[in-house]
Amino acid sequence: MKIVTRILILIIFSSIASNSFAQRRNPTKNADAAFEKKQYTIAAEAYKKAYNRVKKNPEERNRVSYRMAECYRLTGLYKRAEATYKRVLRSDFPISHPEVYLHFAEVLKTNEKFEDAITYYELYAEAVPDDPRGKLGAETAAMVQEWMENPSKYELTLVKKLNSRESDYGVTWASSNYNEIIFTSNRDNATGKEKDGYTGNDFSDLFTSRIDRKDEWSAPVLLEENEIVNTKASEGAPFMNSAFNKMYFTRCNNEAKRISGCQIMVSARSGRNWGEPVPVEIIGVDTLDIVGHPTLSENELIMYYAAERRGGFGKKDIWVSLRDDKSQPF
């Protein structure tokens, strides 16, 4: 028994030593793995730790800086992304990786630095003339700048009762009277308590609010609390059909130890109760693909959605799928 115990201890310590040695040989291994799994918050922290260990290697240092900037851009930390891109731009890295110009321009546009954004869009257009994103980006930045300087007569009002300090988005009407909404939020009372490796925020859930007799919105509450629709996974981006008796939405498992996809789910409503959601079958889409944010035609035979799947142009694209009957897959 003692011999077996000693062997097990030896195996455990050998495994730890092996992993430690591998990490020393490849200090960005964990960061790169997280980045490939789209766990950008985790990747950003891992790249920060690895940076000091690769800074004497200019090529790897610039690659790590660029990956950090991408993590910040993709998680909406635009000011931090801008500062990190600037570090990359001081090197010759963009010469062989001109997409740096494009992504930096997008960050500058978001940060309302339109003139600078136009400059970097044009640099990208010169470097990659066959890609229309450079020219279109410059035109868009100029257009947004004009809109900012000459606003329309529309007024936007912040509905404080509906909003929180967290992310609140993806709203849809939930009744034919247009006095009820369902929306996405990762506020504190969401069901899922895990952290989303992509955003670093808590998993999101679906919440609802109604307009009362005083024409005011009620305090948002969970759409349901029995873990039928809202689960420990991340739910969001709802869409109600024209009869307001079926809800299509997105569910992402976001499993930390492996690459997992997102699915479009559908749940039937009877009164105030929701049925067990089932995946919407889309031919050619598997469980590792990322699909979500559905919008359907009135007869539910045409569905537009966002997807990162085979056959796209790269990253997420807008797709459309059709079916002849609601009982059939798209």
- Give the separation between CA 265 and CA 79, rounded to whole angstroms: 35
Cα dihedral 304→309→311→314 (10° resolution): 100
315-326 confidence digits (pLDDT tens): 789 999 999 999
Report the pLDDT averaged over residues 166-172: 94
pLDDT value for 14: 47
pLDDT tier, 201 (very low <50, low <70, confident <90, very high otherwise): confident
pLDDT value for 25: 64
DSSP 227-242: SSSS-SSEEEEEEE-T
DSSP 252-269: E---TTS---EEEEEEEE
Q: In terms of pLDDT, which residue wins out, 247 or 194?
A: 247
Is 256:197 a contact under the CB 8 Å cutoff? Answer: yes
Can you tell me which residue has the tokens 């610039």? 62
Q: Is the pLDDT of residue 5 over 70?
A: no
Extract the tokens encoding 299: 């007869």
pLDDT value for 194: 74
Please, what is the average pLDDT of the chain? 89
Of the CA atoms within 13 Å of residue 71, those in its CB half-sphere come to 28
Q: In terms of pLDDT, which residue wins out, 305 or 259?
A: 305
Of the CA atoms within 13 Å of residue 70, those in its CB half-sphere come to 21
- Give the separation between CA 7 and CA 214, rounded to whole angstroms: 73
**Positions of E strands within the chain:** 168-173, 180-185, 205-210, 221-222, 234-240, 246-252, 262-270, 273-274, 278-279, 290-296, 302-308, 317-322
pLDDT tier, 243 (very low <50, low <70, confident <90, very high otherwise): very high
Cβ atoms within 10 A of the Cβ of 104, count? 27
SS3 86: helix
DSSP one-letter code for 244: S
Q: Is the pLDDT of residue 143 over 80?
A: yes
Nearest CA among 265, 190, 197, 174 for reference residue 230 = 190
Domains identified in the chain and CATH numbers? 1-91 (1.25.40), 98-102+109-148 (no CATH), 168-322 (2.40.128)
Report the pLDDT averaged over residues 220-227: 94
Cβ atoms within 10 A of the Cβ of 45, count? 16
pLDDT value for 19: 46
Q: Is the pLDDT of residue 2 over 70?
A: no
Is 320:304 a contact under the CB 8 Å cutoff? Answer: yes
- % of the chain beyond a pLDDT of 90: 70
- Give the separation between CA 287 and CA 270, rounded to whole angstroms: 28
pLDDT value for 24: 56
Is 101:122 a contact under the CB 8 Å cutoff? Answer: no
Q: Return the bridge partners of 211, or none.
A: 217
Nearest CA among 225, 285, 238, 294 for reference residue 261 = 285
**Residue 85 vs residues 35, 42, 107, 110, 131: alpha-carbon distances, Å:** 17, 19, 9, 14, 21
Extract the tokens encoding 124: 């990208």
Extract the tokens encoding 205: 């859930």
Q: Is the pLDDT of residue 108 over 70?
A: yes
Extract the tokens encoding 268: 């039937």
- Give the separation between CA 93 and CA 64, rounded to whole angstroms: 11
Highest mean pLDDT among 4-8, 38-42, 51-55, 207-211: 207-211
Report the pLDDT averaged over residues 48-76: 94
Largest CA distance in the chain: 82
Report the pLDDT averaged over residues 217-240: 94
pLDDT tier, 27 (very low <50, low <70, confident <90, very high otherwise): confident
pLDDT value for 37: 86
Q: Is the pLDDT of residue 200 over 80?
A: no
pLDDT tier, 17 (very low <50, low <70, confident <90, very high otherwise): very low
